[in-house]
């Protein structure tokens, strides 16, 4: 178990969570929780696509959907939905992964046409 929404506050301050965070930090990794915005760059994309866009800056270890369902170790095909809380393991030397999630969706150019 990494985090469940109902226990996140309790666990965040626990001795065990502190030890886990210190252990990750020793390997240059950090935990970061982000919320997928309604119309962000990662809204509606799959876990696999989000991790590819992050170019090694993070990997997704848990998704807490707004409906209360939690998915630990989500597969690459799981879609990120608006208002999902996403727990990331982030390389400590990288720019905040949260910035990638909160960036606005950009229009995609295909040939001579923009979509978005």
Band of pLDDT at residue 94, cut at 50, 70 and 90: low
User: For residue 10, is pLDDT > 60?
Assistant: no
Write down the CATH superfamily of domain 1-6+30-105. Regulator of K+ conductance, C-terminal domain (3.30.70.1450)
> Hey, CA dihedral for 16, 89, 28, 8, is it positive or negative?
negative
Q: What percent of the chain has pLDDT over 70?
A: 73
| Residue-level pLDDT at 7 | 45
Enter the pTM of the model: 0.71
Considering only 27-36, 59-68, 101-110, which range has the smallest mean pLDDT? 101-110
**For residues 87 and 60, is the Cβ–Cβ distance under 8 A?**
yes
Kindly report, residue by residue over 62-91, the tens digit of the pLDDT: 999 988 899 999 999 999 999 999 999 888
Enumerate the domain spans of the chain. 1-6+30-105
Which carries the bigger pLDDT value, residue 95 or residue 6? 95
As a whole number of angstroms, the distance between CA 31 and CA 71 comes to 16
| Residue-level pLDDT at 33 | 87
Band of pLDDT at residue 111, cut at 50, 70 and 90: low
Read off the pLDDT of each residue in 4-32 and give the average, rounded to a whole number: 69
Burial class (CB in 10 A: 0-12, 13-18, 19+), 22: exposed
User: For residue 105, is pLDDT > 90?
Assistant: no
């Amino acid at each position: 178990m990494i985090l469940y929404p109902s226990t996140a506050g309790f666990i965040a301050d626990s001795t065990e969570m502190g030890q886990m965070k210190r252990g990750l930090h020793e390997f240059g990794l950090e935990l970061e929780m982000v919320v997928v915005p309604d119309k962000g760059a990662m809204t509606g994309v799959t876990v696999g696509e989000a991790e590819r866009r992050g170019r090694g800056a993070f990997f997704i270890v848990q998704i807490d959907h707004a409906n209360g369902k939690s998915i630990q170790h989500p597969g690459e095909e799981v879609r990120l939905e608006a208002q999902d809380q996403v727990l990331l393991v982030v390389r400590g030397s990288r720019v905040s992964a949260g910035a990638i999630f909160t960036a606005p969706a950009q229009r995609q150019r295909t040939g001579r046409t923009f979509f978005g």
